[in-house]
Amino acid sequence: MKLAPPPGMRDFYPEDMRRQNWLFDAWRNVSLRFGFEEYEGPIFETLELYTIKSGEEIVDQLFHFADRGGREFAIRPEMTPTLARLVAARANALPRPIKWFSIPRMCRAERPQRGRLREFFQWNVDILGVDDPLADAEVIAVAAELFRAIGVTSDEVVIRYSSRRLAAAVLQDFGITPDACERAFQLIDRMEKRGGESFVEEWDRQYKEVVSGATVLDFLASADIDTCLKMITRTAGDAAHATAHEFSQLQRHLEHLNVADYCAFDMKVVRGLAYYTGTIFEAFPRTLDMRALLGGGRYDSLTELVGGPRVPGVGFGAGDAPLFEFLRELKRWPETGSKIDVFVIDADTELFPAAQRVASALRAAGLTVDYSYKRQNVGKQFKQAANRNARFAVVVGQEYRDRQQLVVKNFATGAQEVHLERELLADTARYLGR
């Protein structure tokens, strides 16, 4: 009987782990460069944490279960509710700004498809405790910098952004009441997945009397930022003026942070999650038809919903699977071959204990070192060293017997040198460094 992993879940063989670690290193490195600190949470949470405010779509996709006492839990489908819980619990003690990142593994009962799995890793980057649009710009800059760091240019990817407050004001202008906005956002969010025709149909079923789906679709597709700002400041009150001001500040910060080329205003972005209150953004390939590579936004009341004081937040999540799909399409699949520093070779079985001592000393010096577990001739050991992609071979042979010398072969240059064991071990950086 052959057992495969469950649908939408992956095995990670060493070559897959190398690729995962390549991405995790890039995620971690960019986060640290921007001054973020890493945190983690539990793999499952109480079901309630997600039913409070994540929104219909996420709740429909939960893997949930009850323990023997009948308490209900769900495997985390996203990190933001956990983050809000952590921050709420220590809201008064945490120094501001709270700049945290995490790389959690999570599950959603989605229909598995290209770049969307049932189990995935999601890089989360969030700033809490800052009301200023500067924080919004900073997290967007982190996202743009990740693309830059992995060699994806602003011609290949775009971070589309908008604001829920702005979108709500525009919808109000069309006659949609504030209460109905959330529902309208869900419809707009689904448009990307289901297409314009299905959007118009759904919209007309609910709001045709107020404004037709076709009018809204036309507007969303063509509206530029100036039109929207003019529209809302003409009709709406002070709140709309504040939104317009925040929005222009955000744009200015994006320019100063040198990421404006990666960003574009797009009225169609509203995001599906229910807790967003302000800026929202999603990254898409510019030329490929793919779902979002990352998504995020501002959520100013989530800590209150989980029982804490108000701590405004803004951040994003980026999945590993969509990014790998994207890199595969770009034919920029990361090369992550396995490599070791040194392969130690013994010239005959009697010298094997000495070879093991040399290997131990080199490992203790911090090098990655291996040797053959089978006693075999030097030629075969060299072959194994080459298969392992070793940078050097260190041979324990006749010279060692006679004069305590080791032969060092550099595979990159082909050069061969002889050094006293004592000298080699005393300065591995010099003889075996990069």
Q: Which residues bind ligand HAM (CB under 6 A)?
A: 78-80, 108, 110, 116-117, 120, 122, 124, 126, 273, 292-297, 315-319, 321-322
Least Å from the CB of residue 291 to ligand HAM? 7
Least Å from the CB of residue 23 to ligand HAM? 12
Least Å from the CB of residue 420 to ligand HAM? 55
- Could you give the dihedral angle defined by the CA atoms of residues 34, 37, 43 and 49, in that order, rounded to the nearest 10 degrees? -80
Which among 158, 150, 156, 113 has a CA at the least distance from the CA of 284? 158
Q: Which two tokens stand for residue 73?
A: 């839990």
Q: Report residue 346: phi and psi, to 5°.
A: -105, 140
Task: Give the helix/strand (H/E) hosting 45.
Answer: strand 44-46
Cα 87 from Cα 159, distance rounded (Å): 27
- For residue 367, what is the DSSP state? -
Of residues 143 and 396, the one with the C-beta less far from ligand HAM: 143
Of residues 108 and 253, the one with the C-beta less far from ligand HAM: 108
Which among 180, 189, 145 has a CA at the least distance from the CA of 282? 189
Least Å from the CB of residue 126 to ligand HAM? 5
Of residues 317 and 397, the one with the C-beta less far from ligand HAM: 317
Name beta bridge partners: 34. none
Which among 261, 7, 182 has a CA at the least distance from the CA of 112? 7
Lookup result for tokens 């040399």: 358
Query: How far does CA 333 lie from the centroid of its chain?
Result: 16
Least Å from the CB of residue 430 to ligand HAM? 45
Which among 311, 370, 397, 389 has a CA at the least distance from the CA of 131? 311
Of residues 213 and 317, the one with the C-beta less far from ligand HAM: 317
Least Å from the CB of residue 247 to ligand HAM? 19
- In terms of C-beta density within 10 A (0-12 exposed, 13-18 middle, 19 or more buried), how is residue 424 classed? buried
Q: Which two tokens stand for residue 64?
A: 């949930």
Least Å from the CB of residue 109 to ligand HAM? 9
Contact status, residue 165 vs residue 305, Cβ threshold 8 Å: no
* Positive or negative: CA dihedral 375, 381, 383, 387: positive
Of residues 7 and 14, the one with the C-beta less far from ligand HAM: 7
Of residues 323 and 342, the one with the C-beta less far from ligand HAM: 323
Contact status, residue 368 vs residue 418, Cβ threshold 8 Å: no
Query: CA angle, 387 as apex, 385 and 389 as ends, to 5°?
Result: 75
Question: How many other CB atoms sit within 10 Å of the CB of residue 182?
Answer: 15
Of residues 264 and 420, the one with the C-beta less far from ligand HAM: 264
Least Å from the CB of residue 84 to ligand HAM? 10
Of residues 132 and 399, the one with the C-beta less far from ligand HAM: 132
Looking at beta carbons, which residue is closest to ligand HAM?
319
Of residues 143 and 231, the one with the C-beta less far from ligand HAM: 143
Lookup result for tokens 């945290």: 100
Least Å from the CB of residue 271 to ligand HAM? 7
Q: In what order do the strands lie in the sheet with 44-46?
A: 44-46, 72-75, 64-66
Q: Which two tokens stand for residue 93?
A: 């003690």
Provide the pairing of β-strand 390-396 with 340-346.
parallel
Least Å from the CB of residue 52 to ligand HAM? 13
AA identity, residue 265: F
Least Å from the CB of residue 421 to ligand HAM? 51
